[in-house]
Structure 1
Amino acid sequence: MANLPADIDITIWTKYFIPTCIDILGEHHAPFFPTDADVLKSIAKAFRVCFPGLAHEITIGSMIFKVLSQRCCEWRNKCSATAQDNVTEFLDGTPGLETPEARAEYIEGLGVGSTCDYLYQQITPVRRGCFRSDFVLKTFAFHLNAIEGTIRDSPYPAIGALGIAAIAVFHHLTLFRLDSHSEYRLNVPSSSMKPVRSRSLMAGVTITPSSSLRQAGATHATR
């Protein structure tokens, strides 16, 4: 922060500018590895909105660009950590899933790597609510918290952020599935979830451990 231009208000930078940049990036179709040009475009757009009275030229390699690029990396990493917490909390709190083998069988029943049932709010009697499973929504809620303070009201959906949440869930479910093999054995500590605030997209959605997810594992176990 000390290396930022002296005329930048740190309060605006922290409370509004960073959330606005992440908000814009969350709408990007490829937020995993955005090009420098894409990041620069997002930063420049957010800077004009948050600091309309300043005329800084933001370029790739400038201090503003470097600091925001780091914040965007932290956003993606924390989204992954949130998914890990969600998956760990669910598996730790579900009776019958105490062993790596039981967890691997259960996760296979969620269609990880095949039918992708873990993405759905409901899978029986018909699939319904893609990207609305508890795993995905609770992870996506991290993004909604991260952009609290954004000063833009965009009509575009946060498809990039939702994609990151879904992939992060897939990644950590896969790690737990591999944990049944000793050569891939994990040592993932349990962690408690913090309450999350909802935004308009989450209105009316109850984020609680889903019976549909438990049902998916039970269905697999009885096949």
Structure 2
Amino acid sequence: MFRAPEYKICIIGDSGVGKSCLITYFLTQKFNTDNKVTVGGAYHEKQLFVNNKPLHLQIWDTAGQERFRSMTPMYYHNADLIILAYSINSQKSFTNLPGWLLDVQKYHDGDPILSVVGNKCDLEEYRKVQTNEGNEYAQSIDATFFEVSAKTGVGISEMFGKIAYQVAETHHESNNKKNIDFNENNNTEPKKMVVVKKSANGIII
């Protein structure tokens, strides 16, 4: 019986940037064309191995519409890592990131790890936000940076793999993390797992 450390990840950003699609592709390796608008928040989970050690990710998807904005803090106030998502073909979604970060700083009860993610890199011909702009903003807030496509899957596994590794490493010395029971021999339906290893070139899934 293992007791796998549990980490909470929350993805925030404007409506329409593909937050739900990012999570769906990570969980199923498929692009869901029937994703509905998230109301409030949605919870997902996944078990992984980082350097041969199990961990459990709680992934919270949040609504980006203004009318649900007041509800969002309840989902990320104790998150270990916050993903600030935007669409590379929407300047507005990128420009609004500082506002989302302000909410995190206002309502979060700690100092979460940050990651900036530019989605829809498959729409290169419609790009409004340059890669260097996203990278520079990420550096300015001490965040990791990724450009991915929830439609084609480009960069999704690498992004979540590096995020999982970063969270696990950051909290390696923590003794007060919540834990869950994890038994490789249990009778429940196994959740899909991925293996994350550190290599000279980064994280490989």
TM-score of the aligned structures, taking structure 2 as reference length: 0.24
Higher helix share: 1
Which has more radius of gyration?
Answer: 1
TM-score of the aligned structures, taking structure 1 as reference length: 0.23
Higher strand share: 2
